[in-house]
Amino acid sequence: MYAILTDDSELARAEIGDRSYYFTEFVDGRRQEPLEGTVSSVACWGDTAAVRDEPERAAVDADGTRATPDAEGHHWGTVCPTDPDYREGLLERIGRLEGDVRLTTLGFPGAGFCRCERCNRRFEGSEHDERDAWRADVLTAFVAAVATRVDGELTATLYPDPYPGSLRERAGLEPAGLAAHVDGFLVPLCDPGYGTSYWVESLARGFARELEGLEVSLSIQLSGAEIDPERLAGVTRRVEPHADEIVYGTYPDDAETVREAIERLREEKAAPA
Ligand SMILES: [Zn+2]
């Protein structure tokens, strides 16, 4: 299956792939109205505007570094996942969406996060001895709460690191626990132009292995920017054996490239062997 991901409503309706993912909440804090018949892509704790307006809401590590766009290794602001008002607002907005939903920026923004007073207090009051186990519990409970509010398919985005234990250590995400509440996982493997692409195949294979035995689908997101259709089709051929769906991040300028790559791939499949 092929899909596109876009923030452009016209493109989302252009039927370039089998379905379209459409941004309704961005990591910079912008929101836009959902579009019927598309997968709503919702940034969870990535919200630069919220963190800029109220810096104390940002997730913080043991050294006091806040997860803001100017902190090293952070590209956007991240609200602490245990912020009760933010969590409630997020759940309420997700509950108003119709159809399929994809969650992005799901997780703590790094291995050392979050050490705010509330997180410290909650961890100490929890049944867990290990902070990573507590973090995984926080996130799995959130996704479980989302699942009860979504009437379509629910997809969770994973950080592209399939090494055993890495997702849990980095973000507090445990695919095996989350799998009970989601229909699929989506892994972005984006690079404009794909000057090299061996790593795309390696990571896709790693995730297919990590998710083996779980009742979930695997979508891989590729970038349709700065590339020609044949090369994009070539990168797709390398990851397709490991994925159920390929999602192309698409801007209006790349739409024809993506359309042509999908056409080539579909023709190959339709052709007799
Ligand atoms: Zn916190």
In this predicted structure, what is the pLDDT of residue 117? 97
Q: Which residue pairs, CB below 8 angstroms and at least 24 apart, start in 126-131?
A: none
> How remote is the CA of residue 138 from the centroid of ligand 1, in Å?
11
| Residue 218: partners with Cβ closer than 8 Å, 6 or more residues away | 184, 185, 186, 187, 204, 207, 208, 211, 242, 243, 244, 245
Question: Which residue has 């997860």 as its token pair?
Answer: 67
The total of structural domains in the chain comes to: 1
pLDDT band at 141 (very low <50, low <70, confident <90, very high): very high
> How remote is the CA of residue 60 from the centroid of ligand 1, in Å?
7
In angstroms, the CA 170 to CA 180 distance is 21
- Identify the domain containing residue 216 by its residue range: 2-270
Among 91, 111, 100, which residue's Cα sits nearest to residue 45? 91
Residue 140 reports pLDDT greater than 70: yes
pLDDT band at 273 (very low <50, low <70, confident <90, very high): low
> How remote is the CA of residue 79 from the centroid of ligand 1, in Å?
8
Residue 257 reports pLDDT greater than 80: yes
> How remote is the CA of residue 34 from the centroid of ligand 1, in Å?
29
pLDDT band at 151 (very low <50, low <70, confident <90, very high): very high
Give me 27's structure tokens. Answer: 């990591």
> How remote is the CA of residue 236 from the centroid of ligand 1, in Å?
38
> How remote is the CA of residue 166 from the centroid of ligand 1, in Å?
20
CATH code of the domain in which 120 resides: 3.20.20.80
| Residue 178: partners with Cβ closer than 8 Å, 6 or more residues away | 139, 140, 143, 156, 185
Residue 41's beta-bridge partner residues?
Answer: 23, 102
- What integer is the mean pLDDT of 179-187? 98
> How remote is the CA of residue 75 from the centroid of ligand 1, in Å?
18
> How remote is the CA of residue 59 from the centroid of ligand 1, in Å?
5
In this predicted structure, what is the pLDDT of residue 180? 97
> How remote is the CA of residue 26 from the centroid of ligand 1, in Å?
21
In angstroms, the CA 201 to CA 205 distance is 6
Q: Where are the beta strands (DSSP E) in the chain?
A: 2-6, 19-25, 39-43, 101-104, 154-157, 184-188, 217-223, 245-249
> How remote is the CA of residue 56 from the centroid of ligand 1, in Å?
10
pLDDT band at 176 (very low <50, low <70, confident <90, very high): very high
Residues with Cβ–ion distance below 5 A, ligand 1:
80, 114, 116, 119
In angstroms, the CA 119 to CA 94 distance is 24
**Other beta carbons within 10 Å of 96:** 9
**Other beta carbons within 10 Å of 192:** 12
In this predicted structure, what is the pLDDT of residue 103? 98
> How remote is the CA of residue 189 from the centroid of ligand 1, in Å?
28
> How remote is the CA of residue 118 from the centroid of ligand 1, in Å?
6
In angstroms, the CA 131 to CA 205 distance is 29
> How remote is the CA of residue 76 from the centroid of ligand 1, in Å?
16
Residue 6's beta-bridge partner residues?
Answer: 22
> How remote is the CA of residue 82 from the centroid of ligand 1, in Å?
6
pLDDT band at 272 (very low <50, low <70, confident <90, very high): confident
Q: What is the pTM of this model?
A: 0.96
In angstroms, the CA 219 to CA 147 distance is 18
In angstroms, the CA 264 to CA 262 distance is 5
> How remote is the CA of residue 78 from the centroid of ligand 1, in Å?
10
Residue 25's beta-bridge partner residues?
Answer: 31, 42
> How remote is the CA of residue 95 from the centroid of ligand 1, in Å?
24
Q: What percent of the chain has pLDDT over 70?
A: 100
Residue 189 reports pLDDT greater than 90: yes
Q: At what angle do helices 131-147 and 84-96 cross, to 10 degrees?
A: 30
Q: Are 68 and 74 in contact (CB under 8 A)?
A: yes
pLDDT band at 173 (very low <50, low <70, confident <90, very high): very high
Amino acid (1-letter code) at residue 4:
I
Each residue of 211-248: pLDDT tens digit?
999 999 999 999 999 999 999 999 999 999 999 999 99
Each residue of 27-64: pLDDT tens digit?
999 999 999 999 999 999 999 999 999 999 999 999 99
> How remote is the CA of residue 197 from the centroid of ligand 1, in Å?
37
Q: What percent of the chain has pLDDT over 90?
A: 99
In this predicted structure, what is the pLDDT of residue 91? 98
In this predicted structure, what is the pLDDT of residue 271? 86
Each residue of 85-107: pLDDT tens digit?
999 999 999 999 999 999 999 99
Amino acid (1-letter code) at residue 141:
A
Relative to beta strand 101-104, strand 2-6 is unpaired
> How remote is the CA of residue 153 from the centroid of ligand 1, in Å?
29
